[in-house]
Structure 1
Amino acid sequence: MSNELDDLSRHVAAGKLTRRDFLGRAAALGVSTTFANSLLSSAARGAGPVKGGILRAGMQGGAATDSLDPATWSSQVPYFFGRQWAEQLVQISAEGEVKPALAEEWSASDDAKVWTFKIRKGVEFHNGKEMTPADVVATMERHSDANSKSGALGIMGGIDDVKADGDTVVFSLKDANADLPFLLDDYHLMIQPNGGKDNPAEGIGTGPYKITVNEAGLRLGGEKFANYWRDDRGFADQIEIIIINDATARTAALQGGQVDIINRVEPKVVELIKRVPGVTIQNVAGKGHYVFIAHCNTAPFNNNDLRLALKFALNREEMVQKILMGYGSVGNDTPINKAYPLFTEMEQRTYDPEKAAFHYKKSGHSGPVLLRTSDVAFPGAVDATQLYQQSAAKAGITIEVKREPGDGYWSEVWNKQPFSASYWGGRPTQDQMYSTAYYSKADWNDTRFFREDFDKMLFQARAELDAEKRKKIYADMGAIVRDEGGAITPMFNDFIDATSAKVGGWIPDGNQEMMGGYALSKCWLIA
């Protein structure tokens, strides 16, 4: 029977037998639907990519305020859609390695202060123009401009000059930085015609899909770009993203066949979904973390004793068990975990109502603390906030919870209100994570953590080529963030997505959810 099923599954992968007929024959042989679907997935991977069809994703993280301007991307849908229609100079692989993209190769001076990137020739923008080194330079210039409000501004702050030289682009840095290629994978740094200076939200890129639908907060879509330069992605004829911010509706859409892939499966329903025929849970550990962010420069959170009180008042272990259902690990009020190179273990902060009460009394604060939340902040954010409220109450701290609408949360609450629930997907290196979210001049410094000494340590670590010395600097930086910063980090989350049995080509990628953001480009429809 096993040989017969293997043979039938290969026929499906080759397009000689429909999935429905295969499942019917498998049932006649007494094989469960779940096992039959697993055979189909294995056969599809072995058979290689299948071209054609419309590949659809149902996603949380979209809003009516979303823009196609890469500088503004701050939530899942704009970032994910951007990965399908635009590209950077480099890309980080699922294994965490820097791979060529619009740059074919690169080299650095001995002191790692001058980097030269050879720009790929023959790459065409969706408007028919050829991508040139001048477009790369213009892109970097735009994201270096404080007026652009780019999420990459913190990264670009370390670059002194960018210029074109023949078919190369030369980056001159203020200080040595061995991580520069990693930093250029930042998803804001999508190469656009003239850097996007003319019309940053035009949606013209070099990616495998050309935009055909842009209904912000509702639906996004693209068609295969005929002149795309590479052949290892872009297998579907069309892609579509349907914004489904409600978790239950998103799961129902996958089960009902309206979409093929969904993001942000709530941990509390994972075991139930695993029992659904034709659906596969795709989870992977990484650098993503859920966080409550407090503005260090705004009363009452400009008092470090109050921030420490709130950190000790958080029961991290309870949240990992009740919110993540074990699909993650406890946080330690720092954005760095063991998934990062040069990570150093620190003493784990634990729930301590007595210490929380001590620091709360020392802070001199009285009255409720307002915490804003929404389930678009992270799966289970509202429940997590309520758990936080309960654990803090045991320390005599009153947290007033305000549930905000999902639509507009990333534009009106995050990075604007002084205390709110949020998440970070992580970054490839510690330098990039700190440069993006903790450097004083970073536009995405969402805790308003402004420390000149921390900035100096960031630059020092960036310029240090000795790995052990660099590791020590990062450890000291992590301790400062943990003990004095405004990030209250209960947990590091697994990325939990789900696919239908029709999806082939899925590989685990801990860089970000949805295969590092490339699911619609790298996956295909089996039948």
Structure 2
Amino acid sequence: MPNAPQFPTRSPRRRSVLAAAGAAALGPLAACGSGSDGGGDDGEPRRGGRLRAAFAGGGAGETLDPHRANLFVDAARAKAIFDKLADYGDDMSAEPRLAESWEPAAGLDRWTITLREAVFHDGRPVTAEDVLHSYRRIADPDETFRARADLEPIDLTASRATGERTVEFRLKRPTADFPAVLAAFGAYIVPADTDSFDNPVGSGPFRFRSFTPGRSAVFERFDDHWDGAPHVDEIELTVANEESARVNALLGGQIEYAHELNPATARAHENGGGIRVVRLANSAMQAFVMKTDRPPFDDPRVREAFFLIADREELIDGALSGAGEIGNDLFGKGYQYYAAELPQRTRNVERARQLLREAGAENLEVTLDTSDVAVGFVEAAGIFRDQAAEAGVTIQVRTGSKDSYWSDILDSGTLASYRSGAMPIGTHIAQRLLSDSPTNATQWRHADFDELHRQAQATADEAERTAVYARMQRRLHAEGGFLIWGFADWILGVANHVRGVSETAPANSLNWARFDKVWLA
């Protein structure tokens, strides 16, 4: 799923409910006082107990190899056992993890990373050689590790260890946002001699205890973690593909954390008192992509008309059941570098009609590709079809296979439903909007835009770099191919006695699924 890299699909062929794990695997309700060393109110963490969390899973083929992480449950397991040099904060800016500091050379094409004093679960220190081994493994051209594209700016042949805890990364070109590369999804550090993940050793807050693919994984507190020992003694990450199974297990006290609730479920339980609903805002961009290299969307007037046709509030209410906020045809609302100063686009059907007349596109007919690959896609397509009819545009909705949807719409068709998980704005541009971007679903290719990106990456001053990104976003807002109508909440359900769950972290950012910071009150 190259175009929705942080939001996995769930195949109806894979069914794994909590009951399949067996009562013995779930165990009794975690005792709040187990191993307690004091505390327990909202302001003072309590130590002890087992936290049990349920996610949608990937079946018997699941692995603990962090470089192969693809689904949310993969990411949660990897975050528990391993760590990265950096990770994304709530605004998608890079925050140091195993990297204690990073220093660029004047040309921004060489960066020195100093590692903090951290140890693996077997007591060995995390070293520069471990970092280089991990990155070279990820970059192996014979593999399909997901972070490989993110690490592309690094010349790993020329990069070297300059000390036990220092790495000099040589880059292929100036890269001002290099810390975001260190935070890339799946860029975890493993020991240099790792040849199997059957009994994985990492430097994360939990150490491996047991794993049954497609069923559950159990990890125990690592007391020597560099960021402090977790509050809970253990975590169990259980697979339950059906949302109803996750919710029922939460209501029945079998788990304390249910990942990925749909908006209707959240509304039904939000004020009932049985569970607490947590909404992570700005976690998923919701959009339609217009192919800018082919009729009718090769005419910027047609693209602007479609921007003006969209009733964003209606799309939020109808496709997301109100669980989100409107977009402004720009990725990354609230993230670092976001051009918040641009005026919010509003619906204007008459102006849209005028633009279509000027473009010779009156009575336009177009096919909108969609799929049930993601929540709200089919509903949004139907709503937008009806909105477009008011401007004299006939949209034929075509529902495709969820198994091949993302590859199908990358180069084919003209208009399609789209969404994306959280990532830095610079990463979104690099992966989707440059002439050589690997997942350029809008086919937006402009040499002058590419040059602005190179300029931003060669600009050391953050204020100046922000100004360049603002120029790029003004261009995209005026004539780009992303009709970004909303940003969906990512919804979690937690037991009332669970504390420490972040309510501001987008899915897949540093503070999402931070089970080392959660406790049972």
Name the structure 2 match of 1:101. Answer: 97
User: Which of 329, 336, 339 is residue 333 of structure 1 equivalent to?
Assistant: 329
Q: Which amino acid aligns with 1:59?
A: F
Q: Which amino acid aligns with 1:290?
A: Q
Change (3 A) 1:456 1:97: closer
Name the structure 2 match of 1:124. Answer: 120
Q: For structure 1, which segment, 291-300 or 432-441, has the greater mean C-alpha deviation from structure 2 after superposition?
A: 291-300
The answer to whether residue 484 in structure 2 is matched with residue 486 in structure 1 is no
**Structure 1 residues 24-35: aligned runs within 5 Å:** none
CA distance in 1, matches of 2:63, 2:291: 26
Name the structure 2 match of 1:190. Answer: 188
- 8 Å contact kept, 1:495–1:510: no
Partner SS state of residue 283, structure 1 = strand
Q: Which amino acid aligns with 2:449?
A: F
- 8 Å contact kept, 1:49–1:504: no
Bigger fraction of residues in helix: 1
RMSD: 3.9
CA distance in 2, matches of 1:410, 1:204: 36
Q: Which runs of 5+ in 2 are unaligned?
A: 1-30
Q: How many residues align?
A: 480
Name the structure 2 match of 1:292. Answer: 288
Q: What TM-score, normalized to structure 2?
A: 0.77
Q: For structure 1, which segment, 291-300 or 346-355, has the greater mean C-alpha deviation from structure 2 after superposition?
A: 291-300
Name the structure 2 match of 1:76. Answer: 72
Q: What TM-score, normalized to structure 1?
A: 0.76
- 8 Å contact kept, 2:216–2:237: yes
TM-aligned CA deviation for residue 387 of structure 1: 1.4
Name the structure 2 match of 1:315. Answer: 311
TM-aligned CA deviation for residue 404 of structure 1: 4.4
Partner SS state of residue 494, structure 1 = strand
Q: Which amino acid aligns with 1:281?
A: V
Q: For structure 1, which segment, 418-427 or 356-365, has the greater mean C-alpha deviation from structure 2 after superposition?
A: 356-365
Partner SS state of residue 382, structure 2 = helix
User: Which of 343, 347, 351 is residue 347 of structure 2 equivalent to?
Assistant: 351
- 8 Å contact kept, 2:45–2:231: no
Name the structure 2 match of 1:400. Answer: 397
Name the structure 1 match of 2:272. Answer: 276
Change (3 A) 1:296 1:341: closer
Name the structure 1 match of 2:133. Answer: 138
- 8 Å contact kept, 1:136–1:195: no
Deviation per CA, 1:33-61: give whole Å up to 9, x if none. Answer: xxxxxxxxx954333142232x2323357
**Structure 1 residues 168-183: aligned runs within 5 Å:** 168-183=166-181
- 8 Å contact kept, 2:113–2:167: yes
TM-aligned CA deviation for residue 491 of structure 1: 0.5
CA distance in 2, matches of 1:365, 1:154: 42
- 8 Å contact kept, 2:33–2:48: no
Deviation per CA, 1:87-116: give whole Å up to 9, x if none. Answer: 211234558775442223333334544321
The answer to whether residue 44 in structure 2 is matched with residue 47 in structure 1 is yes
Change (3 A) 1:16 1:519: closer
Q: Which amino acid aligns with 2:495?
A: S
Q: Which amino acid aligns with 2:208?
A: K
Name the structure 2 match of 1:224. Answer: 220
- 8 Å contact kept, 1:288–1:425: yes
TM-aligned CA deviation for residue 195 of structure 1: 9.5
Q: For structure 1, which segment, 383-392 or 236-245, has the greater mean C-alpha deviation from structure 2 after superposition?
A: 236-245
User: Which of 468, 492, 512 is residue 507 of structure 2 equivalent to?
Assistant: 512
CA distance in 1, matches of 2:511, 2:518: 12
CA distance in 2, matches of 1:77, 1:417: 31
CA distance in 2, matches of 1:226, 1:468: 40
TM-aligned CA deviation for residue 431 of structure 1: 2.1
- 8 Å contact kept, 2:81–2:201: yes
CA distance in 2, matches of 1:366, 1:441: 31
The answer to whether residue 236 in structure 2 is matched with residue 239 in structure 1 is yes
Name the structure 2 match of 1:391. Answer: 387
Partner SS state of residue 156, structure 1 = coil
Q: Which amino acid aligns with 2:178?
A: L
- 8 Å contact kept, 1:461–1:473: yes
Change (3 A) 1:91 1:413: same
- 8 Å contact kept, 2:337–2:470: no
CA distance in 2, matches of 1:62, 1:310: 37
The answer to whether residue 416 in structure 2 is matched with residue 424 in structure 1 is no
- 8 Å contact kept, 2:66–2:82: no
Q: Which runs of 5+ in 1 are unaligned?
A: 1-11, 18-41
- 8 Å contact kept, 1:263–1:513: no
Name the structure 1 match of 2:18. Answer: none
